[in-house]
A and B are shown apart, each in its own frame.
Chain A
Amino acid sequence: DTAVSQTPKYLVTQMGNDKSIKCEQNLGHDTMYWYKQDSKKFLKIMFSYNNKELIINETVPNRFSPKSPDKAHLNLHINSLELGDSAVYFCASSQSWGGTYEQYFGPGTRLTVT
C-alpha cells in the first residue's frame, strides 16, 4: 500500500498552460504539505495544511493554489505556467502539525515547462 501517492509522476506542458497535481495519503494524518525541489535539489516548503486548513503559505506566486477537499487529499493547481516552475514537486504528510512528527513524502511529480 502506497502511503503518500501523487499523480501524475511526470508532467510536460507549455508556458501559459494550467495544470494540477493530485496528492493522497492513506496514513490517517492530519497535516499535508507541498514542497518544491529545484534542479540543485534545494527543498522549499510551499504550503502546509492542517485538518484542511491552510497553515503555511510561503512566498509562492498566487498562480499556485492548493486545495484540500478532505484530510487525505491535497491538490496543487498552477495557473499560467512559467519556465521557472520546472521542478520536482513533492507532497508530504505528518501525523499532526509541528512538534516531533516526521514527514512522509510522495514519489514526486516532475514538472517540465517548455
Chain B
Amino acid sequence: AQSVAQPEDQVNVAEGNPLTVKCTYSVSGNPYLFWYVQYPNRGLQFLLKYITGDNLVKGSYGFEAEFNKSQTSFHLKKPSALVSDSALYFCAVRDIADSNYQLIWGAGTKLIIKP
C-alpha cells in the first residue's frame, strides 16, 4: 500500500540556520513527489515536485528537495531560514503504478522559525 510519512510533527529552527523537513514514502512503483506549504488561515500552495531526472529539485521561495530512491525519502531543505517560512508543510506522493492516480498526503509538519 502506498504511504507517506512526515516523522516530525514540528521542527524548530533559528532564523538564518538551514532547515530540513523530512518526508519518506512507500510505493510499489516509481513515485511522483510533491511539497506544499500552508500558511495560517490560507489554502495550500505548491512548492516543488520531483517527477524524474535530477534528484535535487528547486522550488519556490528558495526551497529545494532531494529525492533519494535508496532511502525512499524526499526531504525539503532551505539553506537559510526566514521567520516568514513558518508554516505547515505537507509532503505528498503519487505512485506511477497506481491506475487510480491517487495522491497520498502526509500528516504535515509545522515549521517554526525563531528570530
Contact = CB atoms under 8 A, between A and B. Distances in A.
A, B from the same assembly: yes
Interface of A: 4, 41-43, 45, 56, 90, 92, 97-100, 102-108
A1 to B, nearest CB: 15
A43 B105 contact: yes
B43 A105 contact: yes
B90 interface: yes
Given A103-B46, A104-B46, A108-B42, A45 B108 contact: no
Contacts of B43: 4, 90, 92, 105-108
Interface of B: 32, 34, 36, 38, 41-46, 49, 51, 88, 90, 94, 100-103, 105, 107-108
27 contacts: A4-B43, A41-B38, A41-B88, A41-B107, A42-B107, A42-B108, A43-B90, A45-B102, A56-B102, A90-B44, A92-B44, A97-B101, A98-B94, A99-B32, A99-B94, A99-B101, A100-B49, A100-B51, A102-B34, A103-B36, A103-B46, A104-B46, A106-B43, A107-B42, A107-B43, A108-B41, A108-B43
